[in-house]
Amino acid sequence: MDSPANPLHALLNTIVCGDAVDRLRELPDASVDCTVTSPPYFQQRDYPSEDQIGAEATPADFVQRLQTVFAECWRVTKSTGSLWVVIGDKYIAGELQGTPWRVALALKEVGWRLRSDVIWHKPNAMPSPVRTRPTTDHEYVFFFTKSKKYFYDADAIREPHVTFTEKSQMRGGRGHFGKRGGTPEQGKNAGNSNLHTGNWDQAFHPQGRNKRTVWSISLSKFREAHFAVFPQKLVETCILASCPPEGVVCDPFVGSGTTPLVARELGRDFIGIDCVEAYCEMARRRLASNSHRGGQPAGNTT
């Protein structure tokens, strides 16, 4: 990291064009803190590149290609690092393929440790004409880590308490909320072992309860891209939880550049990769037009 000859320095804070595996191979071992990415979905779109992933004939071929990409991601990730993969499923001839879980299990085979399967609920998902099954309004966000011990800042992504309703009978419940001294550390609840052992999920933690595994986040409104763009809030949650301040965030399927944009706003370095030059240009433009909000425009490494 510290040597000027380190190839990481040439790629840091740039959007690079090329196949994800080829470009990841240029990175040194253990140089990335956290990868946040959404790979192409199986047979969902036709990206204008001969390197494109997603157009394979079978789900098995698709999963194998992603496995190769994420094996390379594993190599470039620090031992404390992590990976967030956002991926949706697909119906073919009326049958759900189960692709997200096939991908998740394939990633475990190349060393990733699966920590969470988050459901990304999309409150503003497009309506669909189906009448023979529920309309899909979610995707998966799989959270993996490289090792048993890893960086995770639970406090950075806490969510508001909702456990205790007005009618709750739970001891020490809502009556203490928002009141001075109403925490396990001090005041009326001090020393309550139920709270201290986490049995009640840190119910009185002043910063909120631990993040849950269903995230309700509306779809993004960035119009320039014709493919699914990450909501910034989704990327923000992943980065705050698993990339230390000033760490390095990677997205090997960067598309319109949402991950680099959010990484830079949060004071992290980034590396973005995409096989379509037009998308790389789009991501660079987006970063340049938002550069007043912090950081430098992205470099141009092709």
Ligand X SMILES: C[S@@+](CC[C@H](N)C(=O)[O-])C[C@H]1O[C@@H](n2cnc3c(N)ncnc32)[C@H](O)[C@@H]1O
Q: Residues in the site for ligand X, rule: CB under 6 A? A: 19-20, 38, 40, 47, 51-53, 225, 227-230, 252-253, 255-256, 258, 273-276, 279
Enumerate residues 6+ apart whose C-beta is below 8 A from 240: 153, 156, 157, 266
Between 203 and 228, name the residue whose CB sits nearer to ligand X.
Answer: 228
Query: In this complex, which beta carbon is closest to ligand X, that of residue 215 or of residue 253?
Result: 253
Nearer Cβ to ligand X, position 137 or 281?
281
What CA–CA distance (Å, rounded) separates 182 from 255?
46
25/133 with CB nearer ligand X: 25
Closest distance to ligand X from the beta carbon of 121 (Å): 18
34 half-sphere exposure, CB direction, 13 A CA radius: 28
Which structure tokens are listed for 178? 């928002």
Please, what is the minimum distance in Å from the beta carbon of residue 112 to ligand X? Answer: 19
Crossing angle, helix 59-76 and helix 99-109, to 10 degrees? 40
Q: How far is the CB of 254 from ligand X (least distance, A)?
A: 6
What minimum distance in Å lies between the beta carbon of 43 and ligand X? 13
Q: Least Å distance between CB 235 and ligand X?
A: 8
**62 versus 144: smaller Cβ distance to ligand X:** 62
Minimum separation from the CB atom of position 96 to ligand X (A): 19
Distances (CA, A) of 180 to 172, 188, 204, 232: 14, 9, 12, 34
Please give the Cα distance from 79 to 23 (Å, whole number).
20
Q: Which is nearer to ligand X, 119 or 176 (CB)?
A: 119
**CB neighbours (10 Å) of residue 240?**
17
* CB closer to ligand X out of 136 and 194: 136
Do 141 and 84 meet the contact criterion of CB atoms below 8 Å apart? yes
Which residue number has the CB closest to ligand X?
255
What is the distance between the alpha carbons of residues 144 and 85, in angstroms, rounded to a whole number? 8
User: Which residue blocks in the chain are alpha helix, DSSP H?
Assistant: 7-11, 20-24, 59-76, 99-109, 193-196, 232-242, 258-265, 277-289
Provide the minimum distance between the beta carbon of 59 and ligand X in the complex, in angstroms, as a whole number: 16
